[in-house]
């Protein structure tokens, strides 16, 4: 197998604000793995707060020697080698995992959701994310997608959270999921916000407080009228067990957890522990979003809109129709390149 990669910086349609920072671009690397005439595509998307960069991803991929493997179906062996090559580098690792799944789906000529035994009609709705901005811009972002989504996700964790929700409520009655991105300072603020948000038609809260405050989050979850999901508190499979009881659910992202194979293990582990599962994403192309969507019939809640937030998506992949994730019958992760990507 041959691994080829190329930096592909993503341009965001709007500046994207979350609690703590704002940006207009996302570093990204696209990869392809070639084997016996088949090509699998993968992607590493790196929002700066996770510590990876185009340089770190390219350095990691340079160390990977896939030529030692002749059988792309031996995912456990290949991905164990990739994971052990260096600590961290989760987005870089995810790019290889995604490309291998795309490759084996293409060799077998079946979509990946079939390989996982999933029913494509059971995909969930996805939220559409409204980043932090002025009230007017946030209202405009809601209006731009009117009629296309049945649920919104609003970023909070500011000192004007109630004002943001009130201004959005002036123009829409859609259910809202809220992501505080660790922005609420303490238990009393989180408790007060949670009960207030219930009155505003909020149906889910993601990462209310700092991941360091697990005991406080557990107390909040115990009394919250709205389900509380972990995002920053959970990265990989080994994180889940200690979160039981502290959160109602977890947000799995391929770029955090090293890809589809570990995500599938996480989905089943969370379910076994009685927790709900959400699949989320970074701002990324249709490549990684379509890969995550292959697993979406198995989950409770989806936030897979990252490809819709960028203006230079080089792929066509899964679609959102009437707010619902809609898989296609293409093999692998379901991609069709819209343009030639210049790989080194």
Minimum Å distance from CB 232 to Mg ion?
7
Q: How far apart are CA 284 and CA 243, in angstroms?
A: 27
* Contact criterion met (CB below 8 Å) for 203 and 177: yes
The smaller minimum CB distance to Mg ion, of residues 179 and 216, is found at: 179
The smaller minimum CB distance to Mg ion, of residues 31 and 177, is found at: 177
**Between 136 and 175, how does the x/- string for binding to Mg ion read (CB under 5 A)?**
----------------------------------------
Stretch that binds Mg ion, among 36-44, 99-107, 200-208, 316-324 (CB under 5 A): 200-208
Q: Does 305 bind Mg ion (CB under 5 A)?
A: no
The SS3 call for residue 3 is strand
Instruction: Identify the bridge partners of residue 41 per DSSP, sorted by sequence position.
Output: 32
- Which residue has the CB atom at the shortest distance from Mg ion? 231
DSSP β-ladder status, 324-326 and 319-321: antiparallel
28, 97, 102, 179: which one contacts Mg ion (CB under 5 A)? 179
* Contact criterion met (CB below 8 Å) for 283 and 14: no
Q: Does 133 bind Mg ion (CB under 5 A)?
A: no
Stretch that binds Mg ion, among 50-58, 193-201, 228-236, 335-343 (CB under 5 A): 228-236
Contacts of 340 (CB under 8 A, 6+ apart): none
The smaller minimum CB distance to Mg ion, of residues 72 and 280, is found at: 280
Q: How far apart are CA 29 and CA 16, in angstroms?
A: 20
Minimum Å distance from CB 179 to Mg ion?
4
Stretch that binds Mg ion, among 24-32, 72-80, 230-238, 304-312 (CB under 5 A): 230-238
The SS3 call for residue 251 is strand
Number of residues that bind Mg ion (CB under 5 A): 3
Question: In whole angstroms, how far apart are CA 54 and each of 2, 44, 47?
Answer: 20, 9, 11
Question: In whole angstroms, how far apart are CA 278 and each of 149, 152, 161, 242, 292?
Answer: 17, 14, 23, 18, 11
DSSP letter for each residue of 60-119: HHHH--GGG---TT-HHHHHHHHHHHSSS-HHHHHHHHHHHHHHHHHHHTSBHHHHTT--
The smaller minimum CB distance to Mg ion, of residues 3 and 18, is found at: 18
Q: Does 231 bind Mg ion (CB under 5 A)?
A: yes
Minimum Å distance from CB 207 to Mg ion?
6
The smaller minimum CB distance to Mg ion, of residues 231 and 313, is found at: 231
Minimum Å distance from CB 131 to Mg ion?
11
Name the residues that contact Mg ion, by CB under 5 A: 179, 206, 231
């Amino acid at each position: 197998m041959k691994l080829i990669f190329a930096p592909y910086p993503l341009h965001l349609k709007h500046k994207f604000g979350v609690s703590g920072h704002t940006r207009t671009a996302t570093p990204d690397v696209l990869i392809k793995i070639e084997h016996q005439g088949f090509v699998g595509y993968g992607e590493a998307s790196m929002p700066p707060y996770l510590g990876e960069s185009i340089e770190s991803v390219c350095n990691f991929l340079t160390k990977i020697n896939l030529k030692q493997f002749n059988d792309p179906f031996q995912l456990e062996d290949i991905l164990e080698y990739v994971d052990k090559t260096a600590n961290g580098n989760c987005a870089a690792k995810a790019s290889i995992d995604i490309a291998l799944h795309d490759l084996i789906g293409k060799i077998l000529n079946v979509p990946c959701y079939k390989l996982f035994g999933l029913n494509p009609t059971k995909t969930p709705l996805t939220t559409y994310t409204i980043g932090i901005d002025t009230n007017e811009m946030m209202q405009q972002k809601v209006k731009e997608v009117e009629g296309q989504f049945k649920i919104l996700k609003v970023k909070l964790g500011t000192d004007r959270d109630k004002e943001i929700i009130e201004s959005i409520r002036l123009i829409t009655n859609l259910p809202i999921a809220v992501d505080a991105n660790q922005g609420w300072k303490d238990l009393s603020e989180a408790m007060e916000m949670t009960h207030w948000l219930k009155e505003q038609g909020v149906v889910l809260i993601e990462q209310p407080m700092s991941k360091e405050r697990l005991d406080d989050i557990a107390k909040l979850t115990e009394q919250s009228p709205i389900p509380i999901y972990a995002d920053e508190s959970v990265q990989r499979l080994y994180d889940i067990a200690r979160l039981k009881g502290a959160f109602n659910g977890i947000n799995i992202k391929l770029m955090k957890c090293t890809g589809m194979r570990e995500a599938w293990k996480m989905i089943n582990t969370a379910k076994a522990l009685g927790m709900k599962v959400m699949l989320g994403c970074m701002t990324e192309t249709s490549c990684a979003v379509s890969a995550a969507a292959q697993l979406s019939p198995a989950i409770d809640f989806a936030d897979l809109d990252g490809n819709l937030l960028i203006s230079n998506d080089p792929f066509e992949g899964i679609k959102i129709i009437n707010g619902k994730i809609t898989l296609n019958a293409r093999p692998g992760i379901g991609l069709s390149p819209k343009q030639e990507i210049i790989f080194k």
